[in-house]
Amino acid sequence: MTKIRANSFSIHVASDVEFSAATALQTMVLSKHYGFLVDKEVEKHAKRVVNIVAVDLHKKNVVGTIRVVDLGNRIANLSRMVTHPDYCGHGLGIKLVEYGERFIATSPGFSHCKYIKISTKPEMLDYYKDLGYLSSADATKASKIPYHSMYKRIFRGPPAYNHKL
């Protein structure tokens, strides 16, 4: 496991180069570790997609990512949140979710959104419940993997910023 130092990460909207690295990280983690096929389908139907990354400031590489997607119907989706396996267990995922929530709450492009949706595996329900998300009743399947949709009302608070861990 990689040793994590305080203030060693920057979380921000991805540059073009960071977007490519984030896509590679999503493919590695979601495809190889979970069997989930990564495609661009959601981006074709979304009104707006923003990619957020966590960058290790010492190694200058993308070690985490989350997508913010405007689904329409006043719902923003946080999706494809992954952290590099070497960086798991240090709270980076929570920081990515919190940054995504603040981005949605403060970005003019998402001002019409009232709720945040997250889809997750059954074993992650408690993780997101601890972050204030409520589970919908039924599980559905994507790429043969069961998942639950969870929702949270958007709090319109202070602006998003370049968060350092």
Query: Using one digit for the tens of pLDDT, what is the confidence trace for 30-40?
Result: 877 666 666 65
pLDDT higher than threshold 60 for residue 121 = yes
- Thinking of the domain 9-158, which architecture would CATH place it in? 3-Layer(aba) Sandwich (3.40)
Domain residue limits, the chain: 9-158
User: What pLDDT sits at residue 1?
Assistant: 43
Tell me the per-residue pLDDT of 69-96, one tens digit each, with 9 for 90 and over. 998 889 999 988 999 999 988 889 999 9
Sheet of strand 9-13, all strands in order from the earlier edge strand to the far edge: 134-142, 145-153, 115-120, 75-83, 61-72, 48-56, 9-13, 163-164
Decide: 53 and 11 in contact? Cβ < 8 Å: yes
